[in-house]
A and B are shown apart, each in its own frame.
Chain A
Amino acid sequence: MQPPKSEPSPAPALREIQRQFATGIMRPLTREQTMHPEWIDGRPSAEAVGGFIKPNDRLSSIERLEIYNRQYWYRLLDCFYEDFPGLRTLIGDKPFSAMAEAYLTKYRSRSFTLRDLGQDLGKFLEEEPQWAGKHAPLAHDLVRLEWAHIVAFDSEMLPPVDLDELLGQGPETLRLGIQPHLTLLTCDYPVDTYLLATRRREEPQGGASHAMAEQRKKKSARKVPRPREEKVWLAIHRHENSVYYKRLEPAAHALLAQLREGKTLAQACEAAAVLGDETFGEKLKEWFTQWASFGWFVRPN
C-alpha cells in the first residue's frame, strides 16, 4: 500500500495562519532574546502578530508568540551544540552560536528528524567561510568528520559478504559494495585526533537544558590544542555499535573509493597502486582481511 498523497491540503485559512506563525517563530531572536520588533513586511511585529494571536490578561500577542520563537531557537541550537562539539571548540562558543543561527536561517530543517539538522553545514561553510575565520580550512575538514560520525552512528548495516564465496570470480569482473555507514574522507588536518580530544571532554548526553548552559561555560575554559596541517585519509565507520575513525594509507583509501564508485577489483587495484609503494601487493591481502573482518564489504547495488 502506498502512503497518502504528498500534495498540500486544501485548507487555505489554516495554511495562511501556519505561514504567519512560522514567519514569526523562525526569525532569529534579538540579542535580548526577544522577538524581532519588525515584521518581514516592515510593519511593527506587535501589529502583525496581533492580527492573528490573541493577547490575554498577562501577555501581549507578541509575548505569547515569543515563547514559541524562543523554544524554536533554543531547541535547534542545543541540538547543533551537541552534534558539532569539534567545530564549537575550534571557533568558540559565541562565534559558533552566531554561525549556527546564520546556517539555520539559510538552511531551515527540511527533515522530520533533528538528526539531519547539520546535513548542509559543510556546504554552508564552503559558501560562507567567514564564519570560521582564519580556521576555515580546518573547520571544513572538521564538519565533514562530524557529519560522517552522525552517519556512521545510525546508518544501515547491510549483511557483509564472505570474501571466500567470491574467490571464484576473477578480479576483472568482481565488484564489491561498501557499507552505507562508512564514509571515506581525505583531510588536510588530523581532525580525527582533534575531535576525539574534544569529545573526551564532553559529558554524556541526556542532561537538562539549564544544566547544559552551565556546562558550556566550564568546558570552554579547557582548550584543545589546534592541530597543524597534516594530510590524513580516514574511514569513519561503525563496528559493534561504536563509531571509529580509522586512518588509512593513501593507496588503501583510493582502493576503497574506487570500489565504492563501482569499479571492478582489477580497476580499483590498478588505480590505487599508483599511490602505493613496492609493498602494495603484499599489503593488499592484509587490508582485505582486515576490512572483511570489519564487515565493510557488501554486495554491490
Chain B
Amino acid sequence: MPANRFNNFTDYGIGIGLRVPHYQHILSRKPSCDWFEIISENFMVDGGRPLQVLDQILEQYRVVQHGVALYLGSTDGVDQEHLRRLKRLVKRTNTPWLSDHLCWGSIDGSYSHDLLPLPYTFEAARHVAQRIREVRDFLEVPILVENVSSYAEFHASEMTEWEFLSEVVEKADAGILLDVNNIYVSSQNHGFNPYDYLDNIPHDRVGQMHIAGHSKFEKYILDTHDNPVLDPVWKMYAHATKAIGPTATLLEWDDRIPSFDEVHNEALKAGRFCQELVRATSEV
C-alpha cells in the first residue's frame, strides 16, 4: 500500500540514469532494471537517434523524466517553447511523475545552463510555488522538486534550506525528489547538520530519492556524479529510508561513466537498504 499520495510509486524500486555510453548494452542485452530516468532536455528534439533510442527503451522499460532546465526559480517568464516540447515528451514517455530542480538558471533571456541557488526568502518561495503550479497545470503530471547542491549562500536568506524546500512544496502542493548526496554536499559547504535537513522536511511528500558520488576539494565539495556513493551518503540514505519508507530511488552517474553493470550494481545497494527495512518492519 502506498505510504502517501506523493509516495505512491514505491513499487518502482531502484533505477539508473539512461546515458549514451550504455545505449548499446541496454538495447542489445536488455538487462534487468526496474526503471530508467531520462534527462528530459536530451530528448526534447524533433527527430533523429535520441528519439529512436528512447522509443526502443520505452518498449522494454519504465521511464521517468527528470529535467535540468525548467528553472522553476527564474524570474524570467516561462519559456513557452520549452514547455510545449516538454509536454510532447511527457505524452511520449507516459512518465508517472516529472521532476526538476529547486533552482534558477536564466535571467533576461540569457541561459547559464547551470542549477543556480536561490535565496531562501518568502518572496522566492511564493514565486517558485506559483511557477510549479502553472507548470503542473499545463503538463498535467505530478511534479517533484529536487534540492540542489550549492556552493554559495545569500545575505538575503530568511530561513534554512530545508525550511525553504518545505515552504515551497507546501505552497505548491508538490512532491519532493530528495537528493541525499546534494544534502550532504551542501551541509559540508555551508556547515549544517544534514540530519536536521532529513528530519525536518515533510516526509509524506517525498516521491523519489537520488543518490550519487561527489568530489572533495581542499575547501569545498563538488557534486560531480563521477564516482560511487560515499559512506556518509549511504548512512544518510538509510536514515531517510527509515523515516520516509521505501521510495523509488535512482543512482546518478554522469561523468567518467563505467560499465552498465558497475553502475547498476552500485544502484542495487540502495535496494538492499529498502529490503532490510521491509524485513525489519514485518518482523515487528
Binding site for B on A (CB under 8 A): 1-9, 11, 13-15, 17-19, 21-22, 25-26, 51-54, 56-59, 61, 63-65, 67-68, 71-72, 75-76, 108-115, 153-157, 180-181, 205-211, 238, 241
Residue among A14, A156, A181 facing the most chain B CB atoms (10 A cut-off): A14
If the complex has contacts A54-B154, A154-B47, are A241 and B52 also in contact, measured as CB distance less than 8 A? yes
A112 contacts B256, CB within 8 Å?
A: no
A14 to B116, CA, bound (A): 13
Binding site for A on B (CB under 8 A): 19-21, 41, 44-52, 69, 73-84, 104, 106-114, 116, 118-119, 121, 123-124, 126-127, 130-131, 134-135, 137-138, 151-156, 189-191, 219-220, 222, 226, 255-257
B135 contacts A4, CB within 8 Å?
A: yes
B48 contacts A13, CB within 8 Å?
A: no
A153 to B49, CA, bound (A): 8
Q: List 20 A-B contacts (CB under 8 A).
A: A1-B137, A3-B78, A14-B73, A17-B119, A22-B107, A22-B110, A53-B153, A54-B152, A56-B189, A64-B151, A64-B153, A67-B151, A75-B114, A110-B109, A110-B110, A112-B41, A153-B49, A154-B47, A154-B51, A206-B19
Known A14-B119, A18-B116; 8 more pairs at CB < 8 Å: A4-B83, A4-B131, A53-B155, A72-B114, A154-B45, A205-B20, A206-B20, A207-B256
How many whole Å from A13's CB to the nearest CB in chain B?
Answer: 6
Pick from B45, B49, B127, B152: contact of A11, CB under 8 Å: B127
How many whole Å from A114's CB to the nearest CB in chain B?
Answer: 6
B257 contacts A4, CB within 8 Å?
A: no
If the complex has contacts A14-B124, A206-B21, are A7 and B77 also in contact, measured as CB distance less than 8 A? yes
With CB as the reference atom, state the residue of chain B lying closest to A157: B47
Pick from A1, A9, A56, A75: contact of B153, CB under 8 Å: A56
How many whole Å from A21's CB to the nearest CB in chain B?
Answer: 6
Residue among B78, B81, B104, B152 facing the most chain A CB atoms (10 A cut-off): B152
